[in-house]
Amino acid sequence: EAQVTQNPRYLITVTGKKLTVTCSQNMNHEYMSWYRQDPGLGLRQIYYSMNVEVTDKGDVPEGYKVSRKEKRNFPLILESPSPNQTSLYFCASSSHRAELFFGPGTRLTVL
């Protein structure tokens, strides 16, 4: 089944404790991106990647890192999480000039 998977789905952590949210797609898509969704603010793009080893900042990249070493994986790294990074995170992928496929979301709470 064609899908985008994210892990973990739910995470509660404490300020400053490094964490990684994994994202993987099995559709051989070139493009992958991360969004965060907050009430009243909609979806905002954090980082995106046009292909392996090619990443770029979105609208809200501060406090996040990404890497794209393999085509199928695009992990989101929070080196030192803070409470303002409490949010619902979505990974998405697409082939060239086509619609986005979204993962199920990761609900992160930073205490």
Residues in touch with another protein (CB under 8 A)? 4, 31, 33, 35, 40-45, 48, 50, 56, 59, 88, 90, 92, 94, 96-105, 107
Are 7 and 104 in contact by the 8 Å Cβ rule? The answer is no
Q: Cβ 72 to another protein, closest distance in Å?
A: 17
The residue among 45, 74, 69, 43 whose CA lies nearest residue 58 is 45
Q: Cα separation of 95 and 110, whole Å?
A: 33
Q: At residue 104, what are phi and psi to the nearest 5 degrees?
A: -80, -10
Q: Cβ 10 to another protein, closest distance in Å?
A: 11
Q: Cβ 82 to another protein, closest distance in Å?
A: 23
Q: Which residue lies nearer to another protein by CB, 16 or 104? A: 104
